[in-house]
Each structure stands twice: as C-alpha cells, then as structure tokens.
A and B are shown apart, each in its own frame.
Chain A
C-alpha cells in the first residue's frame, strides 16, 4: 500500500476526506491536542479545516499504530517514536520517568506522522559515479526534512541491484518499512534488512551473520553511532549513512561530525539541495 494511503488510515477519520482533497503528497501530518490537524506540504505547515483535536483522538491513532500492543512498541516509544507500515510517528507529551529512566507518556499532546516517499531515478546520475571502482564510505547530507532517507533508500536499491550485498540497519523502520517479513519499499535484490534494532546491535549481527559488503544506516546523531562506524570501518565493510548538515562546512563545525572528518571515516558526501521544490543531488569529496 502507498505510504500516503497508510497515513490516511491512521489519522482521525474526520480528516481523511479533507486530506484526500487538499493535501495529496504531504510529507507530514501533525496532530496537536487543542489545535486543528496540519499537513506539511513542500516544507510549509498548513492548517486543515476542522474542530480542534482531542487527546482521545491521538490515543486512537497511537492504539492503531502500536496494534494496541504497548509491550511491542515500548522500546520504540522510549526513543520518542513508533513505526507503523513505514511511517514514523513522533511522540510528544508528558513523560513519566522512574529511577531516572524514561518509562512512557502519561499523556500525549502532539504526534507527527512522517510519510516516506520513493524517488525512483533521482540518484541515477550520482550512482553512475559512485559505482565505479571500489566503494567509498559515503555520507548523505541535508538539513532535517531534506530527503536524506529517500536518497539513502534509492542508493541502497541501486547498489543492491548492481550485485553488491547491502545490509540495512533500519533503526526506526523508516528505510525499508518492513511489514511482516517483507520490505514495504523495493530495496533491491541483494539487500538484507535488520529492522527496529539499535545501530550497534544491528550492524554487528549483519557483519557476523550476513557477510555484507556495504552497511547502510540512517541518521548518525550520537557519539555511540560514531563508535559503531569505527568498528565497521575496521572490518573492511563500506558504509552508506546520513547526517543532518547542509554541507561539509556545517559538518566540520559540529564537534560530533568533526571527528568523522578528522579520522577520514567518510571521504565522500552526497549533498541534497532544494531549489524551488525540486531536489538536486551532488557528489563531493569530504575534506580531512
């Protein structure tokens, strides 16, 4: 099923027709208690007509997204999101902590339903350059919401169809949108997906058990992620990953990423530039 249709099945029923009519192709739906639902279209948040949302409606959305199974979704919820059929539902509300550890939410004030898109053919141009010779560790860069995961998905598919074994650590279930045992998105013929597990655990299992040539992962955001990348590089496996940054200069300014550059863990970047609603993909070398 199309990701947008999945998102429509998730939102409060009174908004389904409104969304179908007025915001097909939205990137996100945002639900806030006491406010009308909004849709993010081409980077702009637009309020949809309708009465303010009640917390009860947010709870129904969550009940559907978790399959009414808190025990299954607890680990994800503790990280602030829930995955459902490839959609990432971000959570916000009053948190409950016990002994300094997050236990869940007492109440929910906002949800953000992120709708993934496929961009078939968008990366064909850069892929022609990337496939030549041996694989170079590559970082996909753009500001938040710039299409990093979409580009990552596309490159995974292209590499996996070009005869390389690609392992995907899909921490948030967004890259592959695995439903049951099958990826919701086409990730190519030689692709193995480890869904909903941490980067370290997933990467190590793929390395030990699946003998991958390239490992792909989304959003390098924490020092622990860097430690995983160091380990993978040490094993001689290529890495394809994403990071929040507009370009190499911004990457250098952030302490976490500066060490990536210093250690030459990534030497190539894919830059995503948005011009007038259109995305352009450029390859560039990352300076040490």
Chain B
C-alpha cells in the first residue's frame, strides 16, 4: 500500500512537471502565432491599405491558435467602434484572449494598439516592427531557456515527490 502511495505521489509530481513544461511551450507557441499574424497585418496594410475591420476579419480566419482567438475577439468587439475608441477595444481583446503572454509582451501589444489606425502608414508599420521585435526577443529568450527550464522543473518536481515518498514511507 505504501509503495502504491509513493508511486502515485511520484506520478503526480511527474504530471505537474509535464504540465508546467507544456504551459511554457504554449506560451512560446502563442508568441510565434501572434508574431506571424502581426507580420501579415503589416504586409496587408502596406499592400492593400485595408482598414482594420477588414484586416481583423482576415486574420481571425487565417491565423492559428492564440492569434486566431485574439483577432476573432477583436473583430467581434469592433461592432462597438464609434462608442468606444479602437485602442480600448484592442486592450480588451488583449486582456481577454492573450492571458498566456507575459505582462511585458502584453504591454508591448497595448502600445501597438494605441498606434494602429491612428497614424500614417509608415508610423504604424514602425510600431508593428517594434512590437514584433519585442515578441521575437521573448520567443528567443523563452526558447533558449526552455531546455534548462524543463530540466529544472522536472528535477524540482521529482525531488519534491521523492522527498514526500521518503517522509511517507
């Protein structure tokens, strides 16, 4: 019975470690998806000068994962345009649909929302580049730290599980 209990504790700890690692991977994936969507946003803006309602509809349909979630949410919120300013709607969409991103990444996205649609095309593209650069740095930092973090997380959880087993046995 004691051995069974110890095995369950160890399995639980292993599951905790796997979930934490998966969460880290999900964050990196969300950053990549947002980065790709923003790249397309800039390209469509520069090529077709499309308005933001058209662009959000396009990206809601063509993006993946977190970016699709974000642009779908934003496109829905745009029905309130005229009652609420665009940057407020953008902020609401960021807060509602990109919670897996760090506060730093989210605040960079909020800065972008204050610029989008408001200034001339060149200014907006500059702001998009700045935002993508920040997302790129975050992706790189998270990706390079992912292996070490994975080892650390697994090590800590298994050590905690092992200790608990010793105490229980």
Chain A interface, DSSP helix/strand/loop, else mixed: helix
Interface size (B, Cβ < 8 Å)? 20
Total A-B contacts with CB atoms under 8 angstroms apart: 53
Quick one: which of A44-100 are within 8 Å of B by CB? 60-61, 63-64, 66-74
B53 touches which of A10, A67, A70, A73 (Cβ 8 Å):
A67
Cβ 8 A contact of B120, one of A13, A66, A70 = A70
We find that the number of chain A residues with CB closer than 8 angstroms to chain B is: 16
Least Cβ–Cβ distance between B24 and chain A, in angstroms: 35
A193 and B119 alpha carbons, distance in the complex (Å): 29
A64 contacts B81, CB within 8 Å?
yes
Q: Give the chain A neighbours of B49 by CB distance below 8 A.
A: 71-72
Known contacts A66-B51, A71-B124; A60 and B82 CB within 8 A of each other: yes
CA distance A72 to B119 in the complex (A): 11
The residues in A between 146 and 196 inclusive whose CB is less than 8 angstroms from any CB of B are none
Task: Please tell me if the beta carbons of A70 and B117 are within 8 angstroms of each other in the complex.
Answer: yes
Q: Do B82 and A69 touch (CB < 8 A)?
A: no
Q: Does A68 lie within 8 Å of B83, measured CB to CB?
A: no
Q: When the two chains form their complex, are residues A67 and B82 in contact, meaning their CB atoms are under 8 A apart? A: no
Within 8 A of A (CB), among B105-141: 116-121, 124
B121 & A71 in contact (Cβ 8 Å cutoff): yes
- In angstroms, Cα B117 to Cα A68, docked, is 5
User: Chain B interface (Cβ within 8 Å of chain A)?
Assistant: 45, 49-54, 78, 81-83, 85-86, 116-121, 124
Please report A residues at the B interface, Cβ cutoff 8 Å: 9-10, 13, 60-61, 63-64, 66-74
